[in-house]
Structure 1
Amino acid sequence: MKKFKQYKNICRAAALAMIMQSSIGISYANPNEPASDVYTKTQGINQSPTQTIKISGLVTDSDGNPIIGATVAVKGTTNGTMTDVDGRYSLTVQKGDIVTYTYVGFNQEEKEVGNDTTINIRLLTSDVNLDDIVVIGYGQQKKSSVVSSINSITSKELQVTGRSLNNSIAGQISGVIAVQRSGEPGWDDAEFWIRGVSSYAGGTSPLVLVDGVPRQMSNISVDEIETFTVLKDAAATAVYGAEGANGVVLITSKRGKREKTQISFKTEHSIVTPTRLPKILDSYRYLSLYNEAKWNEEYNPMTGFVPQYSDEVLDKYRSGADSDLYPNVNWLDLLKKNSYNGRYTLSVRGGGERVRYFVSGGFYNEDGIYKSETIENYDANLGYKRYNLRSNIDMDITKTTKLAVDLSGIYVQSNAPSSTASTLWSAFTLFPVHIVPMKYSDGTNSDHYFADTDRYNPYNLLNLRGYTKNWEATAQSKVSVEQRLDVLTEGLYARANISFDSFTQSRTDRTKRPHTYYASGRDTNGDLIKKTIAEGSALGNPSTSASGGHKKIYIEGSLNYDRTFVDKHAVTGMILYNQKEEQFQNNSGLNCLPFRKQSIVARGTYNFDNRYMLEASFGMTGSENFSKGHRWGIFPAIGGAWFISHENFMKPVEDYLSTLKVRASYGITGNDNLPTDLARFPYRASLNQDNSGYNMGISPGAAGSATNWIGNGITENTFAAPTLSWEVEKKFNLGLDFGLFRGRIEGSVDYFHNKRSDILINRQTVPSASGFRNNPMENMGITKNSGIDGNLIAKQNLGEFTLTGRFNFTYAKNKIVEYDEIPQRYAYQQYTGNSINQPRLYIAERLYTPDDFNITTNANGSKNYTLKDGLANPNSPVAPGDIKYSDLNGDGVIDSYDETYKHGFYPNNPNMVYGIGINLDYKGFYAGVFLQGAAQASVNLIASPKNFVPFYNGVDYSSGRNFAMDRWTAEDPYNQDVLFPRLRTTNNSHNLKQSTWWYRKGDFVRLKNIEFGYQFNKKTISKYYMENLRIYVQGSNIAVWDNVKYWDPEQGNANSGASYPISGTWTIGLEVTF
C-alpha cells in the first residue's frame, strides 16, 4: 500500500513537471530520483563556474506539509527543477539570482540567493486563483472570466457554531447585510439582504438555490456545503428574471472526487450562554423607587406625604424574614441557565473514473436556557434536534454521458413550553419581584392576585402550563443528466434535471393549569391566609395542530456551448427552460391551488485572450400572480470586463500589481413577491358579505316612521387590478479586482446603483368618498438604492509564522422616490425622500428645569408649575424633569405637526456591515480572531414601553431593571445626563412620545469568533492511516461594544428587551479524516 501511494505521488509530480516543461520550457528533475543538478545557460548572460553554488531545501504549505511537484526556477531563465515526493529540491544557481517557488493554488514566493545554501520555503494558499471555477446562475465559469459581481466563501471559512447558516454570514461576505434578532433554538434565523433593501412593499429576501434548486437554507448542515456564493448585480441575477431583483444565493453541496475514499468525522460540543441579560432591581429598591415616583407625581410635598410603602414594610422586604408575604424574586436568575449544543458529522467521499460519491450524515442538538423542571414526565425546556442525511452520486455512464443522483433528508424535532418565548420573556421582566414567591413555603403554587394572560407567575408559565412538540420532515431529490454533443459540433452539450421536494409538519399541544393561590397575610397561628386564584386542571389529551406541508417539483433543461477558437477566442452560450410548481396542504381558499412559474433563460459570453470579456443574458419569466398580457416579462443584462494586468504593457509592474481587472454591468431584474397582505390573483376582484349593514333609507314600516332601514349586502373587498405586474429594478455595477505583490494582497471593490420602480402599493391619494373598502393596488412606487462593497485579503510569511488578514464591508443606502404620498403641510414630514422605514419622531431638546417655570408653593410644600412665556405649550401638564420637545413649525404648540423624519437617526436595519479577521499559523498551531460590525442603524428603547418604562402599568404590573436608577431626581433638577425623565406611578404620555430621547445608535462591534487549534502534520499522522487531524477551541459572540447597553444591539428593538436573547458559545471540536 505504501509503495502504491508513493508511485501515485510520483506520477502526479511527473505529470506536473511535464506540463510545466511544455508550457514554460523549464528543465526539471525526476521527482522519483534525488533532486539532480540542472542548469541551462541563458543566452546573453555571462556565467562563470566560480559564481555558481548549489542550493537545496524543502517546500511546504502553511501547515508544514511537503508540496510535491512545486516548481523551483531562476527568474527570467529556463533553469529550474521540481520538488520530489518529500517536497525537497536541489538546484545549481548563481549568487544574486532570484529564485521563484510556484505551485497551482498557492501564491508565488521569491528568494534572492546569498551565502545560504539551504533555503526552505512555505507557500501560502491563494484565495484568488484565476483558474478556479466559480458557481454562477445556471452554470460555472473560470474566476478569471467573470464579469459580474460575485462573492464566494467556503463552509470552513463560515465558521458555523450554531444551528443556522443564516446566523454566520454577517460580516463574512461582502454584499450581505445580516442581523440576528433572537437566539431561540429553532427560531434564531437571521434576516439578511443582499445590498440592502430596495422595496417597501414586496418581499425583500434574496432567492436561495441549493444545488440549483430553489430551497430553504436554514436547516442545511454546514458540513455538507462546498461553497456559499452571492450574486449581486444584474449580469449575475438577470437570468433569474422576476426573482432576481433582491439578489441570489447559490449553495453548492459537496460532491465526490476522483481520489481514494476518505472517511471524515467531526464533533463539536458547546456551552451556550446569553450575550446580554437585564439586571433586575430587588424588591426594596424597586418599591423605594415607586415611593419616589409617587412623590414626583404629587409635586414634591415637604409635609403630609404618605408613601405607598412604609419604612417598616420596606425593611421586611429587605430582610427577607418572611419570603411568603414579602418576597424578593429575581425571576430571570431563577429560571435561566447555561445550555448545551452538540454536533456530529460522519461523511464518506471519493470515487474513481466512472463513479464519484459523497455521503454524509449529521446530528445537531441544542437546549434552551430555561431552568425548567421535569413534571408529569415532560420537560418544558426548549429543545431542538436535527438529523441531516445527504447522498450525492456522480456517474459517467459513457464517455459523453453523465448522470447525477442527489438525495437529502432533514428531520427536525423540537420541544417548547406551551407559552411562547415572547410571553415568557415578558413575564420574566414584567412580573413584579415583590408580589409572590416562586412557591409558597408550604409547597402550594403561587400566583398574582389578579392573574390574567399577562400576569401569570413565570415559574407556572414555564413548568406548569403544558408543552408543545413539533416534528418536521423534509425529503429532497434531484436527478441530472448531461450529454456531450461533440458529434454535432465541438463544445456543445445538453443538460436536464428534475427535482422533487416534500415537506411535512405535525405539532402536538398538551396544556394544563395549576391550582394557584395568593396569600394576603397570616392568621393568629401564623399560617398563611390564602385565596384560590385558579382552579387547576390536569394535563389534557394531545391535540394536533399546524399539521400539513407542501410539495415542490422543479424541471430544468438547457442546451450549452463552450468552445475556444485559435487559443484566444473563448465563446460560451446557453438556452434554458425551467418550471416549478408548489402546492401546500391544508390551505383554504385560493391558496389551495398550486403556485406555478415558468422561465426561459439565455446567456452568451465572449472572452478574447483572457483580456477582454463580454457577457449578455436575459431571463423571461411567466408569473401566475398577474393577468394575461402582463404575466411575461423579459429581464436583460449586459456586462464586460478588461483584464488590464494581462496586457503586455503591465509586465514591468507585475511583481507589484499582479492582478488588475475592471468590470461593469447594467441590466434589469424583477420581483414578483407580492406583499403578504395581498391575496393571490390580485387582478381579480374579491367580494365579501358586509355584516355591518348598508343604510337603505327610510324603513317601510309604520306610517310616520323615520327609522333608517339597515340591511346586509355585498361589498367589493379587493378592487380588481388587471394591469398589475412585477416590480422592476435597473441595476448598474462598476467593479475592480486587484492583486498586489504576487498575490500577497488581493481584493475587489464594487460600486452599485439600483433603481426599483413599479413597486406594488395601495394608492394613498384616493379620497375616502370614492367608497373603496381597501384602496386599489398599483405599480407606482419608486426607490433608489446605492452603495459600495468590497473585500481584502492579505497573507505574509514572518519566519515560521504565517499571518493572514481579511476585511470586507458593505454599505447600502436607500431612498424613497415615489410613495403616492398625500402632500404634507411641512416638508420635514414628507416620507418621500427618506429611507424605507425611517422613523418619524419628535425632537427631544432636553429636560425641563426649574428655570423654565413660574413656581408657587402650597401649604404642604408641594409646587405648582406654570411654563414661562415664550415656551411652547406641550399640550399636557409638565414639571421639571419632563421632556422638552422642539416646536418645529413655530406655532407655539407641541402637536403631531412637530414630528419629523429629519432627526439624525436611521431605520432599525443597518446600512453598513463589515468584518475583520486575523489568523496566525505556526507549525500546525493556529489562532484566529474575527470581528463583525454594523453601523447606521437605530434602536427604539420604547418600542414596547411596558417592557422598559418603570411603573408603566403600575407597581404591581411592572418590574424595574437596574437601569431604572438612572433617572431624573428632584435633588438634582438640572441633571440632563439621565436615561429616564421624571418618574410617575403610571405611564406618562407626554414623556413617552416617540422621540429622539428614546433612540440610540445601533452601531456595534462584536467579537464574533475566536479560535485556537492544532493541525497535526500529515506526515506524522499518516502512519495511523489518517489524512487530517485537527483539534480546536472556538468562541462565538464573545463580546460586543455598543451604545445600547440594555440588550444585545443586533436584536434591534427586541421588544424593548423582553425577548429571547442572542447566545454566545464556547466550543471544543475534533475533526479527523482517514
Structure 2
Amino acid sequence: MKLERNKFSQAKYTLKIMFLQMCFCLLWVNTLWANEIKNDSRSIAVTNNLNVKTILLLNNIVKDKIITGTVKGTDGVGIPGAGVKVKGTNVSVATDNNGKFSIKVPDNNAILVITTIGFNQQEVTVGNSQTLTIILQESSNDLKEVTINVGYGTQKKVTSVGAQSSISTKDLTQSPVANISNSLAGRLPGLFAVQPSGEPGADNSQIFIRGVATFTGSSAPLVLVDGIQVDNYNSIDPNEIEGVTILKDASSTAVYGVRGANGVILVTTKRGKLGTPTISYTFQNAFNSFTATPEKMESFEFASSFNQALKNDAYVSNSIYTPRYSDSDLAKYKSGEDPIFFPNINWYDLMVKDVSQQRQHNLSVRGGSEKIKYAISAGLFNQEGLFDDAGVTADYDPQIQYKRYNFRSNLDYTISKRFRASLDLSSIIENRSGNNANTNSIMNFLNGAAPNLSPGVVDGKIVLFEGFGSPLTTLYSVGYKNDVRNLLNGSLRLDHDLDFITKGLTTHALIAYQNSNRKLSEYSRAFVTYRAIKNPDGTVDFRQLADNQPFIYNPTDPERNRRITGEFALDYKRTFNGHTVSGLLLYNQIKSTNKDFAYLVPNSYQSYVGRLVYDYKGRYLAEISSSYYGTENFAPEERFGFFPAYSIGWVPSEEKFFPKNKVINFIKIRGSYGEVGNDQLSANFLRDPNSRFLYRDPAFTRRGPYTVDGSYRFGVFGQNLASYEALREGSASSPGLTWERSIKTNIGMDLIGLDNKLTVTLELFKETRDNILAVPRTVSALTGIGAAAENLGKMSNKGFEIDANYRSNIKDFKYFVRGNYSFARNKIIFQDELPQTFAYAQRTGHISGQNFGFIAEGFFNTWEEVNDQNRPQYTFRDGNKIQPGDVRYRDVNGDGIINNDDSVPIGYSSTVPEIIYALSFGGSWKGIDFSVLFQGAGHFSVPYSRRANQAFFDGDPSAAADYLSESWTQERYEQGLPINFPRFGVGNGARGFNNYVGSTLWIANAEYLRLKNVEIGYTFKPTFLSKVGLKSTRIYANANNLVTWSKMLKGVDPESASLPANSEAYGLVRTVNLGINVNF
C-alpha cells in the first residue's frame, strides 16, 4: 500500500509538471501568433485577453493556499458541523467539534460561504489572512431572512402575499406529547385545536383552521408531509419534523382546488445537511395524570341524598314516600363498620392510577457531502394508560398501552450539475393493546358508580351485589385486544435544471406510494366474579358466580389501504433589472384504494395547477394562482372545476419616500381573493357509501331503490300481532351533487420594527361558503319518498388574527415574548328549515353548533311561589306539577306558558371556540434556557351530561358528584347557603323534563386558560464535551397541561367536555417529563 501511494503521488507530481509545461508552451505560441497579426486591432484584443487568462491560470496554480479558521457564535463558543464552502466551486469542508476548519482556496480574492442551521448565512473574503475567526449571528425572526413553504414550492416571507403561519422543530419538541396536533395548540395564529381525549393512541387534537365554515361537511384541513397527502400525520415522531406551515387564504390554497377550503397543513421533515455526520440521541421519560378528577359523595351522604330524592319525587308521582335506606343502614354507612355489605368505595381511587409512564427514544444521523446528503431517524414511543388493576387477580393485563415505532430516511443525491434526486422512505408500526371495552364506556361506568354499589375487590376477587354490576366488570369482563397498524410511505423525486433552454427554468417529477394495513385481534371471555353471602354466625363466604372459561378469539378482516401520487412540474424564476418573475405549471394525480364498500370505486384526484408571481424590487407584489381540479366523488359531468385566486402586495418601506428609521424597519400590506372547494361533504364522506354515492341512482344500492322498514304490523291485537320487515321507497338521488364552494377574502399586514426586534402580523378574513350538503326540510312527507340531500346550504365565516413577537437581549441574556389572538365567527345563512313561530327559534342566522334552550331564572323556593296564579304554566312531561326546588324558566314570548316556543339561543357553539389565544415567553443565559406557554379559549359552551349534573337517574343508585351537595333543599334555602342546582330527584323526575331540560343552568361556560407548556434546560459547554467526544449535550425538564383555570364544574376538563356525554370521556392528561439530548 505504501508503494502504491508513493507511485500515485509521483504520478500526480508528473502530471502537474506536464501541465505547467503545456501552459508555458501555449503562452509562447500565443505570443508569436500575436506578433504575426499585431496590425489587426481585433486580433490584438483577442491576444491580450488570451494572455491575461493564461497568466491568471498560472497564478491560480501558483497561489493556491490553505486557510484555517474557527466558526463561532456570538457567545464565543465554536459551532460544530458548520459548512464552509469556496463560493463558485465544489470545494467545501465542515467544522469539527470545536468549530475549527481547514480549506484550500485559489487566491486572496476567494470568498468563503459559511452556513449552518440556526444561524444566518455569512460570506467572508479571504484576503491576505491565513487564519480567520468568523462570528455567526443567530437566525432572527426578520421576515427578510425567512423562507416559507407554500403549495408546491417555497417563497421568501418578505415577498409572499398569502396568509401563512409557521413554526420550527424547536417549538414542536418543547411539548412532551405523542403527536404533532397536540404540539400545535397555541403556537400558530388561525389554528384552532381542541383535544377531546387523553387516551393513549387516540389523544390527537381536532384541528380547525380559522374555525368552521360548514354545518354538515368535514372541517378537517388537508395535510401534506413533504408534499405528499397523508392521513396518518399524527403518527409521525415530532423529532423527525423540521417545521410546520399552515396555509389559510385562497391565495395559498387555490392550488389544492376541491381540497383547499378548510386550509392546508404542510409538514416538512428533516433533511441532510452539508458537513460531517451528526449523531443525535434523545431520551424522554414522562409521567401522566388526569388534569381533572371528579370527587364523589361518600356512601352516607349519597344514601341520605337518595332518600331525599325519593321524597321529592313522591309528590310528582302521587306516591307514598318509602326510603330506600333505613336509619340503621345510614348509621352503618357512616360508621364504616361493615365494609362488605355497607361499602364506601371511591372508584377513582380504586381504578385510576396517580400517574402512568411514557417513554420516548429517538436516534438520528444527519450529514452529507456535495454529492449526497442524508437524514436517518428511528424512534420508539411507549405510553401507558391510567387504569389500575385495582388489586384484581387476573391472567392478563387490561391496561391500555400504546407503542409506536418510527423510521425515516431522507436522501438527496446530486447526480450532476443539473440533475438531482431525492428518495424518501418512512415506516410506522403502531400497537394499541388493552381491554376490549371502549374507554368511554369504562369512564361512563366509573363516573356513574355509586360508592355503595359493591364491595369492590376482596382478596383479589371482584365481588358484586345481586342485581348490580361494577366498573371492574367493564374493565375485565370483555377480554383484551391487540390492534396493529403498519404504515409504509415512499417517494422518489427527480429535479433537473433546464438552464440550457433558458436561465431559471427547472423541472421535477415525483412518484409516491403509501401502504397502510391494520389487523385487530380480540380475545374475549366472561371474567369470574363473586357474590358475598353472610352466614348466620356473621362470617362471610364468597360464592363464585361462573366457571373460568378459555379465551375466545374473535378474528376481524384486515384493513388494507393504498395510495399512489404522481406529479410533474415546470418551475421558472428569473430577475430582470429589478423585475422578478416566477411561475409554476404542474400536473398532479392521486389514486386511493380500500377494501371498504365505499372504495369499490377507487377514489382519485386529478389536477392542473398554475401560478405566476411577480415583484418589482421587493416593492410591488402580485400573484395569480389557479387549479383545474377533478374529484371522483361526484357524477362524471360534475367532477372538474376551476379555482382561481388573485393577490397583490405593497411594501411602503421600500419606497424612496419612506424614511429610514429604527421604529418601523419594514411594512407590507397585502390582500387576496379567490375560490376553493371542499369535496368532503360529510365528516366521514369517503368511507360512508350513503354519503359518497348520493349522486348515484338508488338502484345502485344492494336493495335497489328501496329501504327495509321493520314497522309494518300484522295480526290481531292481543293474540298474534307482530312487526314485520318490508320494503318501502327509499330516498331520491342527487345527480347534480358537487363540492362546497368557498369564496375567501383576506387583508394582511406584516411589520418589523424597533430595530428588527419586533414582528407583527395582522390578518382580516371573510369566507362565504355555499353548496353545503343538506336535506330539504320543507319537502312534504306526502311525496312518499325521502327527500334527496342537495347542495343548498350557505354559511359565512369572518374574523381576524394578530401575531406579535419581540426578541432582544440584555448582554448575555437573550429573551423573547410572543402572543397571538384569533377570532372566527360563523353564521348560517340558509339551510332550508321549517318556519318557526318565532324568529329567534330559527337555526338560520345563528352560528353552527349553537345551543338552544330555556333561560333559567333561579328556583322556586316556597309553596307560595309555586302556587302563584300569575306564574307561567309548565308543559313538560311532568306537566305543571312543580314544587319548591324546581327550576324557574323565563316566559320569553309572554304567552303564560313554558313550552318549546320559549327555547332560545344560549351560550356559544359546542363545536369549536370562537377565540383562541396564547402568550409565550422565554430566554437563555450561559447555557440555561427556559420557555413558558399559556394557551386559552373563549366563546365556547358545552352542555353538561347527565353524569355531571344529575345525582341519580333511571332509579339506579348512580354516583353523585360532590358538588351536587349544593343542590336545593329547604334547609339550605332557609340558612342562606349557596344553591346552584335544583332539588334531588330519581328516575323520570331526575332525567325529566322540568329540571333537566336544556337551559342556561346546564350550559357550561367552557372558556379556559391553561398553562400549556413549561420547559427549562441546560446545555453543557462544548469545551467540556469535546474532551469526551461529544458535540453538544442538553438536559431538560418540561410539562404539558400543567394547570387549568376554567369555570367548569370540578372534575370536568373544558376540552374533553366538548365530546358528547362529555364528562364520561377518557380525560386529558397532565405530563411532566425529563429528557436528555446528546449529539456526537
Sort the TM-score into its range (normalised by shorter chain): 0.7 to 0.9
CA contact (8 A) 1:1007 1:1038 kept: yes
| Residue pairs, 1:652-671, within 5 angstroms | 652-653=660-661, 655-671=662-678
Deviation at 1:823, TM superposition (A): 1.4
* Contact 1:411 1:474 survives alignment (8 Å): yes
Cα deviations across residues 608-652 of structure 1 (Å, max 9, x unaligned)? 111111100101111112223211100000111112222222243
Q: Distance in 1 between matches of 2:849 and 2:1047?
A: 21
State the alpha-carbon separation in 2 of the partners of residues 124 and 352 from structure 1.
24
Pick from 405, 427, 446: which aligns with 2:445?
Answer: 427
- Deviations 1:303-337 (CA, angstroms, capped at 9, x unpaired): x9764323321221222222111111111110111
Residues in 2 aligned to 1:445 and 1:235: alpha-carbon distance in whole angstroms: 62
Paired residue for 2:457?
439
The aligned counterpart of 2:586 is 576
- Is it true that 1:339 corresponds to 2:331 in the alignment? no
Residue 226 of structure 1 and its aligned partner are, at CA, apart by 0.6
Are residues 926 and 326 of structure 1, via their aligned partners in 2, closer, same or farther at CA, if it must alter by over 3 Å?
A: same
Q: For residues 550-585 of structure 1, give each alpha carbon's deviation from its aligned partner in whole angstroms, at most 9, with x where no partner exists.
A: 01111111111111112x111111111111111112
For 1:1023 and 1:692, how far apart are their aligned partners in 2?
80
The structure carrying a bigger helix percent of its residues is 2
Is 1:495 matched up with 2:508?
Answer: yes
In structure 2, stretches of 5+ residues that fail to align are: 1-64, 84-97, 101-114, 122-133
The one of 602, 616, 623 aligned to 1:594: 602
Q: 1:305 to 1:671 in 2, by over 3 A?
A: closer
> Could you give the per-residue CA deviations for residues 928-953 of structure 1, whole angstroms, max 9, x where no partner exists?
111011000012113xx145410112
Give the direction of change, closer, same or farther, for the CA distance of 1:1068–1:1056 in structure 2 (3 Å limit). Answer: same
> What is the match of residue 638 of structure 1?
646
Q: Distance in 2 between the 1:469 and 1:648 partners?
A: 68
Task: Give SS of 2:158's match.
Answer: helix
Task: Give 2:592's aligned amino acid.
Answer: E
Query: Judging changes above 3 Å, is the alpha-carbon distance between structure 1 residues 852 and 686 closer, same or farther for their aligned structure 2 residues?
Result: farther
Aligned to 1:54: none
- Cα gap change, 1:877 to 1:237, in 2 (>3 Å): same
Any stretches of 5+ residues in structure 1 without a counterpart?
Answer: 1-29, 36-57, 71-84, 88-101, 109-119, 700-706, 854-864
**Hey, what does 2:192 align to over in structure 1?**
177
Matching residue of 1:360: 377
CA distance in 2, matches of 1:141, 1:374: 60
Residue 936 of structure 1 is matched in structure 2 by 939
Q: How far apart are the structure 1 equivalents of 2:808 and 2:707?
A: 74
Q: Could you give the per-residue CA deviations for residues 676-718 of structure 1, whole angstroms, max 9, x where no partner exists? A: 464333221224345548999x99xxxxxxx999998754423
User: Which residue number corresponds to residue 191 of structure 1?
Assistant: 206
Task: Give the counterpart of 1:914 among 903, 909, 917.
Answer: 917
**Quick one: distance in 2 between partners of 1:711 and 1:1044?**
48
Q: Among residues 638, 647, 665, which one is paired with 2:655 in the alignment?
A: 647
- Counterpart of 1:736 in structure 2 is 749
Deviation for aligned residue 1:465: 3.3
Q: Residue deviations 1:879-904, cap 9 Å, x none? A: 11110111112221111111112x34
Residues 764 and 977 from structure 1, CA distance in 2 versus in 1: closer, same or farther, beyond 3 angstroms? farther
- For the residues of structure 1 that align with 2:604 and 2:356, how far apart are their CA atoms? 43
Residues matched between the structures, number: 946
- In 2 relative to 1, CA 950–31 (structure 1 residues): closer, same or farther, beyond 3 Å? farther
Cα-to-partner distance string for 1:367-394 (whole Å, 9 max, x where unaligned):
0011126865421101111000000001
- Contact conserved, 1:290 with 1:955, CA < 8 A, in 2? no
- For residues 793-821 of structure 1, what are the alpha-carbon distances to aligned partners after superposition, in whole Å with 9 as ceiling and x for unaligned? 11121233222111112111100001112
Q: Given the alignment, which residue of 288, 294, 309 partners 2:325?
A: 309
Which residue matches 1:50?
none
What is the one-letter code of the residue matched to 2:388?
Answer: K
Distance 1:1033 1:710, change over 3 A: closer
Offset of residue 106 of structure 1 = 6.9
Partner residue of 1:971?
971
Is the Cα contact below 8 Å between 2:707 and 2:730 reproduced in 1?
A: no
Shift in Å, 1:435: 2.8
Deviations 1:419-450 (A, max 9, x none): 11011111211122113212346x65322422
Task: Give, as a single letter, the amino acid of the residue that structure 2 aligns with 1:935.
Answer: G
- Aligned match of 1:856: none
Distance 1:292 1:496, change over 3 A: same
Shift of the 268–319 alpha-carbon distance from structure 1 to 2, 3 Å rule, reads same
Distance 1:105 1:545, change over 3 A: closer
Q: Is the 8 A contact 2:476 2:527 kept in 1?
A: no
Name the CA shift for 1:829/1:643 in 2 (closer, same or farther; >3 Å). Answer: same
Counterpart in 1 of 2:899? Answer: 895
2:809 aligns with 797
Contact residue 515 and residue 536 of structure 1 kept, 8 A: yes
- Tell me, in whole angstroms, the C-alpha distance in 1 between the residues paired with 2:281 and 2:395: 35
Alpha-carbon shift at residue 412 of structure 1 (Å): 0.7
What displacement does 1:145 show? Answer: 1.6
The C-alpha deviation readout for 1:151-180, integer Å capped at 9, x for no partner, is: 110121122312111112111111100010
Alpha-carbon displacement from aligned partner over 1:760-798 (angstroms, at most 9, x marks no partner): 1111211111112x3212111110000111211111212
Asked if 1:539 corresponds to 2:550, the answer is yes
Q: Secondary structure at the match of 1:839?
A: strand
The structural deviation recorded for 1:34 is: 11
Distance in structure 2 (CA, Å) of the matches to 1:739 and 1:961: 52
Determine the structure 2 residue equivalent to 1:134: 148
Displacement after TM superposition at 1:1021 (Å): 2.5
Change (3 A) 1:507 1:59: closer
Measured after TM superposition, the shift of residue 147 of structure 1 is 0.7
Q: Does 1:1058 find its partner at 2:1064?
A: yes
Q: Once the 2 structures are TM-superposed, how far is the Cα of residue 405 of structure 1 from its aligned partner?
A: 0.5
Q: Which residue of 1 aligns with 2:562?
A: 551
**Preserved CA contact (<8 Å) 1:510 1:539:** no
Residue 415 (str. 1) matches residue 430 (str. 2): no
Aligned residue type for 2:980: L
Q: Read off the aligned partner of 2:358 and give its amino acid letter.
A: N
3-state SS of 1:669 partner: strand
Identity %: 31
1:206 aligns with 2:218: no
Cα displacement string for residues 941-977 of structure 1 (whole angstroms, at most 9, x for unaligned residues): 13xx145410112252x01121121211111337594
Work out which of the residue numbers 995, 999, 1009 in structure 2 matches 1:995. 999
| CA spacing shift, 1:594–1:374, aligned 2, 3 Å | farther
**CA–CA distance in 2 between the matches of 1:176 and 1:912?**
10
SS at match of 2:737: coil
- Which residue identity does 1:147 align to in structure 2? V
1:202 to partner: Cα distance: 1.2
Q: Is the 8 A contact 2:908 2:941 kept in 1?
A: yes
Contact 2:192-2:210 within 8 A present in 1 as well: yes
Give secondary structure in 2 for the equivalent of 1:650.
coil
**Which stretch of the first structure deviates more once superposed, 1011-1020 or 785-794?**
1011-1020
User: How many angstroms does 1:464 deviate by?
Assistant: 4.3
User: 2:233 maps to what in 1?
Assistant: 217
CA drift at 1:531 = 6.8
Q: Which residue of the partner structure matches residue 47 of structure 1?
A: none
CA distance in 1, matches of 2:116, 2:566: 41
The one-letter code of the counterpart of 1:1014 is Y
Distance in 2 of aligned mates of 1:813 and 1:751:
12
C-alpha separation in 1, matches of 2:342 and 2:441: 25
Cα distance in 1 for residues equivalent to 2:76 and 2:151: 35
Q: What is the distance in 2 between the residues matched to 1:34 and 1:366?
A: 47
**Aligned amino acid, residue 744 of structure 2:** K
Alpha carbons of structure 1 residues 142 and 754: separation in structure 2 relative to 1, 3 Å: same
**Deviation by residue 1:241-293 (Cα, 9 ceiling, x = unmatched):** 00000000000111111121111111111011111110122111111221222
Distance 1:391 1:59, change over 3 A: closer
Q: Secondary structure at the match of 2:359?
A: strand
Q: Matches of 2:452 and 2:995 in 1, distance apart?
A: 26
1:528-556: CA deviation from partner (whole Å, max 9, x where unpaired) = 37777x53451323222252120111111
More deviation, 731-740/668-677: 668-677
Deviates most, 734-743 or 1053-1062: 1053-1062
SS of match in other structure, 2:457 = coil
Q: In 2, are the aligned partners of 1:695 and 1:708 still within 8 Å (CA)?
A: no
1:91 corresponds to: none
Name the CA distance, whole Å, in 1 between partners of 2:657 and 2:165: 29
Per-residue CA deviations over 1:466-499 (Å, capped at 9, x if unaligned) read 1111111000000000111111111111111001
